[in-house]
Chains A and B, each alone.
Chain A
Amino acid sequence: MKSSVIIFPGSNCDRDMDVALKKFGFKNQMVWHNDSNIPKSDLIVLPGGFSYGDYLRCGSIAGKSKIIKSVIDFANSGGLVLGICNGFQILTETGLLPGILQQNKYLNFICKNVFVKIKNKENKYFKKIKKEVLELHIAHNEGNYFCSNDELKSIEDNGQIAVTYCDHKGNEDEKNNPNGALKNIAGIFNKDKNILGMMPHPERMIDPFLSGEDGSLFFSNLIESL
């Protein structure tokens, strides 16, 4: 399986993602933002970081970058596109995913482990994961998901909510919402479920000496499902 990680100036989780993808069997390549073509891939990843400094608005300049047209074409033809953290922000800026990511409710950057509940397993990203609740890691300043009522109804009706913040038992209450996200949303799909954007970083949870190991479940499922 081939994957491509796009590097924007200011990306800083590109290497971590490369390490994780390779660990679980992907043949990964790095693609520079100023290139116009993406090599043949089964998966494209937009990594975390601060693309173009996140000046203006998080992900907005990356959403207009040279490489992004190829990403959009690939996604529209059904290719798998995964955006983590800043990558999620970029996907909402391009319009590939609905809604926006606002500044965290308590106005601080948050770096910590969180639990998320898998809301939909009818897709390649979560299909074979046996657990219902995963322990992942977040590190962001703008992860407060928001969309209009109409959009919310539409994403709910279409099963587009991918993961929500919860406690270790799966209770999705306000207490376990780290950033004020609407309906505790931590990640969403597009209608066809080939595009996933999420704030938590599975690539930081891939061995027992790190913050945890549930990220391994995510990547091993991904390579098996493809």
Chain B
Amino acid sequence: MVEVNEKIAIEHGLKSDEYKKICDLLKRTPNITELGVFSAMWNEHCSYKSSRKHLKKLHTKGEQVIQGPGENAGVVDIDDDDAIVFKIESHNHPSFIEPYQGAATGVGGIMRDVFTMGARPIANLNSIHFGSPNHEKTRNLLRGVVKGIGGYGNCIGVPTIAGQTCFDESYNGNILVNAMTLGLVNKNKIFYSKAAGINKPVIYVGSKTGRDGIHGASMASAIFDDKIEEKKPTVQVGDPFTEKLLLEACLELMAGKSIISIQDMGAAGLTSSSIEMASKGDLGIEIDLTKVPCREENMTPYEIMLSESQERMLIVLEEGKENEAKKIFDKWNLDFAVIGKTTDSKNIELFFKNEKVAKIPIDFLAENAPMYDRKWIKAKLPKENKFSKDRFKSLKLGDCLKKILIDPNIADKEWIWNQYDHTVMGDTIQKPGGNAGVVRVHGTNKAVAASIDSSATYCHAHPLTGGKQVVCESWRNMISVGAKPIAITNCLNFGNPEKEKNMGEFVECVEGIAEASKYLNYPVVSGNVSFYNETKDKGIKPTPSIGGVGLLSDYKKMMTMELKNEGNYLFVVGKTEGHLDQSIFARNILSEFNGPPPEINLFNEKQNGMTILNLKNKNLIETCHDVSLGGILTAISKMSIKSGKGIKLFPFESLVNKFEYFFGEDQGRYIIEIKPENLENVKNMLKKDSIHFDKLGLVESDEITYGNDLKIPIEQIKLDYKKWLKEYMVN
């Protein structure tokens, strides 16, 4: 057996003082298995040691919240006996090393988190960020990640209904793969991870344990260097077929009454799942590692405890229910083994070949895990740019629009989502490419909307504003499909928390998220933190991804962004002030990368959103689309492209110039389509609520026109919008 010392502890990712703390707590030197268990539980990924202090600031409560953060996933009430279980999780580090398996197991892991709670997954989403399209690795990483996400989700038979794909050179050395799953559960039949009762059998089910993914969670808590290729063995390998069997078997077992608690073996495998169940139940746990089904020969206790082999679950059963449960897993051809029991010792005790190989008080691993109050710097709001008239003199609206539509961050992503099965389960009523994905709640009149958003550019420019903005954007996506926003899940992707600037970005983004979600009553119910997204000292832009969930009580009232009929009017709801700093226009056309992001006014945000929902409930609007990246002209172009219908823009009344008006990225805005007969009613309602609006134009012909300044056929912008990604992936 290996002799444990400080050097070995450091190789496990622990700091010197952390190792010293372990020895002090145990009052002895840990053996190698124990050290492995500590390193797995105390790494950033599992212990949230740098983030915990700040995550407490998040707004997590609300009328519809059944379960907030701290469980496998969050749960919200969607009326009747239905509840939605959902969560987002990152799989960034593995996906950069091995894009197919990294992304695939990311999807597999988040689905397990959801069905562990008794829910059948009904929708998947993802947010993926890549380096510059010109970077040598980007194309293959994108191809691999998309194939991995599709390969796993398609096989399980859960539709992938929405997502986002971004490119920025800050991700050259650290791509982001965030996967989100929504599941449907009867709110009286939710399963939790808290164990209860002593001498209850602890059951291992699913795939066999192999040597894959050992120390995956520690790898995810480290920064990358040149030797990153050597880390390939730490990437887990996914088997969606086994997961599909595991899903069906677990749901079958859950229909009965034999489960006390259940936990999937995700990051840090058997270690974290067993410790979490015992810790939440204030119990001890005893495991005989000889009984764990292994795929490879001669696996050591250390390897068994730290393996991150996929598609495995740990269950605490009621006594005497073992045979009944085993029958179900036999039917689905899955391993089933009683590997231990709960105890009242409050220790985790591991046995191997009749020898005790580890004994650690659970407290030491959970509550006594380090918590850091890391130093951070507050970001200053950058100074606004004053763009002189000269800078716009030679510009033409049509040319600018074309340039924006072929920007990788705007261009159509159909090449990606056509590779995801988005219609299986027969309830997808809004496909990817809209404001949000929408699936019906099977067999009811209800539907659930979901979207995923991030705005790293804004967060980078000013983290506090950026954090607020992402939440608002998510909220707007819900409103735009006619759904009442219910709750969010956040995936917080940041650089190295040991650097004050990165830590500051984290703290302020979290504060921004907290403030907006509280004001909008759009609580955070689950989430995940991914730090150390850094390679050779270059960190990513701060990238919190927000997954939003909303409810439509009548799915027939869902809105889409396709223009409906010629002769209808278009309004912009919300005030346009022509904010160009940090916009796509500023970056692509003016080559200006500094300045503050658009300001967030939460009062207006809420008012505007609620009014849109009111208008929809009164059947006064036909179409809705929120205005985001690229401003008004980009938004209406997408509406035109989707429907093949043109728009005649009216002269606008504003002090700003036409570029500022049409490409500015002011927040809290929506474009709505109104039938002529409803025009007065809509105006009156907007005025009554003191909502600012502009009459934007008329649905007409097959061109977008603005006086003599713009005349562009829809067919042409459609080609521009659709071409970039396809051409990029073919070359």
Binding site for B on A (CB under 8 A): 9-10, 12-13, 15-16, 19-20, 34, 48-50, 52-55, 108-112, 137, 139, 141, 201, 203-204, 206, 209-211
Contacts and interface: CB of A to CB of B under 8 A. Distances in A.
Contacts of A55: 241
21 contacts: A12-B156, A12-B157, A13-B424, A16-B426, A20-B426, A34-B331, A50-B157, A53-B155, A53-B240, A55-B241, A108-B147, A109-B420, A109-B421, A110-B419, A111-B423, A139-B154, A204-B426, A209-B429, A210-B428, A211-B428, A211-B431
B244 A9 contact: yes
Given A12-B424, A50-B241, A141-B154, 16 more contacts: A9-B244, A9-B333, A12-B244, A20-B426, A50-B157, A50-B240, A52-B241, A53-B239, A109-B420, A111-B423, A112-B418, A139-B421, A209-B440, A210-B428, A211-B428, A211-B431
A16 B424 contact: yes
A49 B247 CA distance: 15
Contacts of A13: 157, 424
Contacts of B420: 109, 111
B447 to A, nearest CB: 9
B68 to A, nearest CB: 31
A108 to B, nearest CB: 5
A42 to B, nearest CB: 23
Interface in B528-556: 555-556
A226 to B, nearest CB: 22
Interface string B153-174: 0111100000000000000000
A117 to B, nearest CB: 22
A139 B423 contact: yes
B423 A210 contact: yes
A204 B440 CA distance: 13
Given A109-B419, A110-B418, A139-B154, A210 B426 contact: yes
Contact of A109 (B150, B157, B331, B426): B150
B689 to A, nearest CB: 30
Interface string B241-268: 1101100000000000000000000000
B422 interface: yes
Contacts of A211: 423, 428, 431
A103 to B, nearest CB: 12
A116 B511 CA distance: 53
Task: Please name the 4 residue pairs, one residue from A and one from B, whose CB atoms are nearest each other, closest first.
Answer: A12-B157, A53-B241, A16-B426, A139-B421
A16 B423 CA distance: 10
Question: Which of A12, A111, A139 counts the most B-chain CB atoms under 10 A from its CB?
Answer: A111
A186 B75 CA distance: 42
B332 interface: yes
Contacts, number: 87
B23 interface: no
Interface in B417-439: 417-429, 431
Given A13-B157, A53-B155, A209 B556 contact: yes
* Most chain A CB neighbours (cut-off 10 Å) among B418, B428, B556: B418
Contacts of A53: 155, 239-242
A209 B444 CA distance: 13
A50 B426 CA distance: 17
B729 to A, nearest CB: 9
Contacts of A141: 154
Contact of B157 (A19, A20, A49): A49
A209 B154 contact: no
A20 B427 CA distance: 12
A19 B419 contact: no
Nearest to B440: A209
A214 to B, nearest CB: 14
Contacts of B422: 111
Nearest to B248: A9
Contact of A111 (B332, B421, B427, B558): B421
A57 to B, nearest CB: 14
Interface in B313-341: 331-333
A110 B184 CA distance: 27
B154 A109 contact: yes
A90 to B, nearest CB: 15
B622 to A, nearest CB: 16
Nearest to A13: B424
Contacts of A52: 241
Contacts of A9: 241, 244-245, 332-333
Contacts of A204: 423-424, 426
B489 to A, nearest CB: 25
B580 to A, nearest CB: 37
A155 B440 CA distance: 41
Nearest to B425: A16
Contacts of A54: 155, 241
Contacts of B241: 9-10, 50, 52-55
Contacts of B428: 210-211
